[in-house]
Structure 1
Amino acid sequence: MEVDTEDIAYEGQAVARANGEVVLVEQAIPGERLSVRVESRRRGLWRARPLAVIEASANRVEPPCPYFGACGGCQWQHIAYDEQLRLKTAIVRDQLRRVGRFAEPPVLDTIPSPQQWAYRNQVRMSTDEKGRLGFARQLSHEQVPIDECIVSDPGINRRLAKLQGQGPAGGLAIRASARTGETLVDIPGQEEQVFHEEVAGRRFRISASSFFQVNTYTAEIVVEETRSRLDLRPSDRLLDAYAGVGLFAATLGSAVSEVVAVEESKSAVADGMFNTMHLENVRYYQGRAEEVLPRLRKRFDAAVVDPPRAGLKPGVIGYLNAKPISRLAYISCDPSTLARDLRPLTEGSYELVGVQPVDQFPQTHHVEMVAGLRAR
């Protein structure tokens, strides 16, 4: 079947229409004609893979990775980088319109990653029955054995080369820092190790089980965009919800009078307390944000929330609306959940000032966003 692609979908596929159905085409770009094979049919939505590109977009490039198309890690290596940025901006704007119901969403152009290859500082790999390490196949739980990942730090690939064929049954994670030179291999069941990374002039201790941004280069951009939107003052009391290992508490804490950091993960709290030892004005609370925040008796002048991909719990949104905070920065890696959460916040106590996408995940459809809000 031949189709003409017209648009981009939230999950990164190109959108076409055929026989009254919407067709999502993997490894395609808007503005192309392709011969495709339909792989799944659901009423109103078909999913397809290209058999041949009949008329290619001017933005189509040759993917440099030999695993592209099989490995599910990257979806957009076939798209020129400038077009990747444009499409990510379009996805964020579209989700704010569709999901968030913002007629004219204030979305800025996506900021590029300073490094578009060899940027990932961590990977998690599965092991097959022969001990080979790899990633999941696209749209499947099957494994694709991988000998080198070109979007990952060279330190990860050096460790992978030594471990390939000897992977443990439960898989493993590898971390590497171009700035500290450290690498870490985390195998489930073994004693937890720590790793160090540098961001915005600060050195961070990160336990193997603690979350940290996968792109150190753009993490610095996110910090500075957050700083700009919060317009911090020396007298401010700052709330850092979903604080992790202290990325924002450590980098913004010296600009304010007090930081209250809330984090559920015990390992991340321990790391965060270590990483903010130089700041006497930072205090950590361990627990779920929706449970801890209502117990806080403090009033805040500024806040940063950086929840997991699933977004804010209703209790957190309720807290933010019930106790309006003058300046709020919402960090998100999912345009749909960001748009969903912005709707009750803007129907409540806040005005959306702007959304800044940052390309934290080059060669994929994923994007990081910093949304700035102000209390009415």
Structure 2
Amino acid sequence: MPEIEISAMTFGPFGVGRHDGKAVMVAGAVAGDRLDVEIVSERRDYSVAKIREILRASAERRVAPCPYVPRCGGCDWQHIDYGAQVRFKGEVIARELGHALGVAIDPAGLVEPAPTEFGYRSRIRLRVGAKGVLGFYSAGSNTIVEIDSCMVAEPGIRMPLHLARSLGKRVEEIEVVRNGAREVQVAHLKKPAAEEDLRRARNVLESDGEIAGIVLRSGTHRATAGDTAIAVELEAGLSIEVDADLFSQVNRVQNQKLVASVMEMAATHESSAVLDLFCGAGNFSLPASRRGARVTGVDADAGAIAAAARNAARLKFRDAQFVAMKASATADFLHRARYRPEVIILDPPRTGAPDLMEPIIKLRAPGVIYVSCDVTTLARDLRVLAGAGYKINRVRGFDFFPNTHHVEIAVHALLT
């Protein structure tokens, strides 16, 4: 079996080494490890291997504090010292974006570390197995690893055993969303909620004084019991109220830093025209509107748009309007209407926004701020913007997800 030296990390559970001139991806490896590995699959450009023996451990390797690692597939970097996790994320961002765009990016200090590497998640989503077993999938499989607590969840988050057992085989997943002392549970059902499901949810609510509300979801169908709203503070003095089953960032402290950075990049002033694509419930739209900008927020999720509009009305942000429409269709419409934003903000899902790049280019906004949780799709889309005359002005990373390979990235591009 080959012996390899791990030279770098990827955005994933893998460290990378080389053998016979070919890259080898090794799950659970750490840059600096020397390993005896077994090749488990061959691809055209690389091989995938598993660790047989750690011959020399990296100085950044540690024993994972969580007893469920490595069986649980959630925290795929927990075996790495936290300071090194942050450094590795900066190195991957700098390498991937630098290679894609042909620019030099300094990885030092690129990623803002989280104040704490544990207890940061304001919401967790648990799989429900037979007899109400709760847990997360094991790495690379659909096998549920049963847990009774999660180290990265906020300390107040409890296991929703009562709801899981009450709903039985009809429930697939349950989210627990926490804001201070307020807890809402969201059950994802296999079929739309029947009256019996609602009756059982109400019984759970009545018997547990810590739960404020329960949402029963199946696709776009939803039913509620109790009060399902939560408050999310976007920045000092600005909080929004949203239903717990709408998307919100899990790391509230880091999200406030991201919002502050995006507002700094946007440099909005009174009457600035801002187009916020994939705006959700207004994570960036409402802070921009608070600064006097004329904001148009767009998202395909009608529930999120309704929440953003309600919050704008409550806050008396009269120059904020929100549209429930696919972002690409909206950008084309605005181009035909000769709308010219000064700043475009987009925060697409992990798959990025390849169909949106050409419409954005047509709008010729002086500034584009692209927020992403996937460096590969981000690099792909930024390459298109760069080809149309946009130049990267600033890159910042925010570690929303300590002990995993995931990271939020904000890139500010200017039209030259």
Does TM, scored on the shorter chain, surpass 0.5? yes
Q: Does 1:311 align with 2:352?
A: yes
Q: What are the superposed Cα offsets for residues 242-280 of structure 1, whole Å, 9 maximum, x if unpaired?
A: 100111112221213411110100111111112222111
Structure 1 residue identity aligned to 2:297 = A
- The alpha-carbon distance between structure 1 residues 292 and 364, as it changes in their structure 2 partners (threshold 3 A), is same
CA apart distance, 1:187: 3.5
TM-aligned CA distance change 1:318 to 1:307, over 3 Å:
same
Aligned length: 373
Describe the SS at the equivalent of 1:154: coil
Question: Is 1:321 equivalent to 2:321 in the alignment?
Answer: no
| Distance of 1:160 and 1:23 partners within structure 2 | 41
**How is 1:242-321 mapped onto 2 (pairs within 5 angstroms)?**
242-277=278-313, 278=315, 279-296=317-334, 297=337, 298-314=339-355, 316-321=356-361
Aligned match for 1:229, one of 265, 274, 278: 265
- Structure 2 matches for 1:33-182, cutoff 5 A? 33-98=34-99, 100-105=100-105, 109-156=110-157, 158-160=158-160, 162=162, 168-169=168-169, 170-179=171-180, 181-182=182-183
Task: Mark the CA change 1:134 to 1:39 in structure 2 (over 3 Å): closer, same or farther.
Answer: farther
Any idea what SS the aligned residue of 1:182 has?
A: strand
The worse-fitting range, judged by mean Cα deviation, of 265-274 and 107-116 is 107-116
**SS of the residue aligned with 2:295?**
strand
SS of the equivalent of 2:296 reads: strand
| Aligned counterparts of 1:143 and 1:167: Cα–Cα separation in 2 | 18
Shift of 1:22: 2.5
Tell me if the contact between 1:180 and 1:196 (Cα under 8 Å) persists in the aligned partners. Answer: no
**1:20 positional shift:** 4.6
The answer to whether the Cα contact below 8 Å between 1:350 and 1:374 also exists between their aligned partners in 2 is: yes
TM-score by length of 2: 0.84
Instruction: Kindly indicate whether the alpha-carbon contact (under 8 Å) linking 2:101 and 2:386 is maintained by their aligned counterparts in 1.
Output: no
Contact 2:128 2:174 in 1 (8 A): no
How big is the shift at 1:89? 0.7
Name the structure 1 match of 2:393. 353
Per-residue deviation at 1:175?
3.2
Q: Secondary structure at the match of 2:182?
A: coil
Q: 1:161, 1:52 → 2: CA distance?
A: 39
SS at match of 2:130: coil
Query: What is the CA-CA distance between 1:286 and the residue it aligns to?
Result: 0.6
Q: Measure how far apart 1:208 and its partner are.
A: 4.1
Structure-2 change in CA distance of 1:67 and 1:325 (3 Å) = same
CA distance in 2, matches of 1:148, 1:64: 13
Greater mean deviation of Cα atoms: 239-248 or 269-278: 269-278
Secondary structure class of the residue paired with 1:126: strand
Which amino acid letter does the alignment assign opposite residue 289 of structure 1? A
User: Is contact 1:210–1:265 with CA below 8 Å preserved after alignment?
Assistant: no
Shift of 1:344: 1.0
Contact 1:350–1:375 (8 Å) recurs in 2? yes
Q: CA deviation at 1:285?
A: 0.7
Q: Aligned equivalents of 1:368 and 1:328: distance in 2?
A: 16
Q: What TM-score, normalized to structure 1? A: 0.92
Is 2:415 the counterpart of 1:375? yes
Q: Which residue of 1 aligns with 2:230?
A: 195
CA contact (8 A) 1:177 1:196 kept: no
Aligned equivalent of 1:29: 30
8 A Cα contact 2:11 2:92, kept in partner: yes
SS of equivalent to 1:89: helix
Greater mean deviation of Cα atoms: 7-16 or 272-281: 7-16
Q: Deviations over 1:292-350 (max 9, x none)?
A: 12212322112211111111132x21122112112221110000111111111111142
Aligned to 1:207: 243
Q: Please state how far the C-alpha of 1:106 moved relative to its aligned partner.
A: 6.2
Conserved 8 A contact 2:15-2:29:
yes
Higher relative contact order (CA 8 A, sep 6+): 1
Q: CA deviation at 1:231?
A: 1.2
Judged with a 3 Å threshold, the aligned counterparts in structure 2 of structure 1 residues 84 and 292 are, in CA distance, closer, same or farther, namely same
Which residue of 2 is the match for residue 335 of structure 1? 375
Residue identity in the other structure for 1:285: V
Partners of 2:150 and 2:172 in 1: CA distance: 16
Distance 2:118 2:125 in 1: 18
Cα distance in 1 for residues equivalent to 2:310 and 2:9: 43
2:306 match: secondary structure? helix
User: In structure 2, how many angstroms separate the alpha carbons of the residues matched to 1:57 and 1:167?
Assistant: 46
Residue 347 of structure 1 aligns with an amino acid whose one-letter code is G
Compared CA separation, residues 81 and 247, structure 1 to 2 (3 A): same
TM-superposed CA distance for 1:178, in Å, is 4.2
Sequence identity percentage: 29
User: For the residues of structure 1 that align with 2:74 and 2:375, how far apart are their CA atoms?
Assistant: 19
Counterpart-to-counterpart distance in 2, 1:167 and 1:93: 47
RMSD of the TM alignment (CA)? 2.1
